[in-house]
Amino acid sequence: EVQLVETGGGLVRPGSSLKLSCATSGFTFSNTWMNWVRQAPGKGLEWVALIKDKYSNYEANYAESVKGRFTISRDDSKSRVYLQMNTLRDQDTATYYCTRWYPGPFAYWGQGTLVTVSS
C-alpha cells in the first residue's frame, strides 16, 4: 500500500525557515517523481515544487511564488522527500501535501501538514 506521511509543519514568524519532510513507503521511491502541493485555508490547490528521479538528474521545478525561497530535495536511501522553506511569508500559510507522480500527476497524496506563518 502506498503511504505518504508529511511532518514538520507548525506556527512560525514571518521571515523564518521551516523544513518539511515526507516519509514514503509501498512503492519504488527512487524512480518516482515527487511533488509538493499546497492549499491555503478555504482556498484552492497550488503546485509548489517537483523533483524528478535520478534518471532525470533530479531536476527540480518551482512555482514562481516560491522560487528562490523554497528548495525541494530527496533522499532515495530513506525514501523521503523534503521541502526547505526560507523567508516565509504570511501568504505561505497553507496545508502542504506531499504527492507522488505515477501513474498520473499527483496520483497519491499524504494527509498534509499545516504551516502557519504569523506574527
Partner 1 sequence: DIVMTQSPFSLAVSEGEMVTINCKSSQSLLSSGNQKNYLAWYQQKPGQSPKLLIYYASTRQSGVPDRFIGSGSGTDFTLTISDVQAEDLADYYCLQHYSSPLTFGSGTKLEIK
If 0-12 CB within 10 Å is exposed, 13-18 middle and 19+ buried, where does residue 116 land?
Answer: middle
- Asked if residue 112 binds partner 1 (CB under 8 A), the reply is yes
Phi, psi of 31 (to 5 degrees): -110, 30
Residues 6+ apart with CB under 8 A from 57: none
Phi, psi of 101 (to 5 degrees): -105, 90
CB closer to partner 1, 38 vs 119:
38
- Asked if residue 1 binds partner 1 (CB under 8 A), the reply is no
Per CB under 8 A, the list member of 8, 9, 86, 106 interacting with partner 1 is 106
Q: Print the binding letters for residues 22-61 with partner 1: x by CB under 8 A, - otherwise.
A: ---------------x------xxxx--x----------x
Question: What residues make contact with partner 1 under the rule CB under 8 A?
Answer: 37, 44-47, 50, 61-64, 97, 103-112
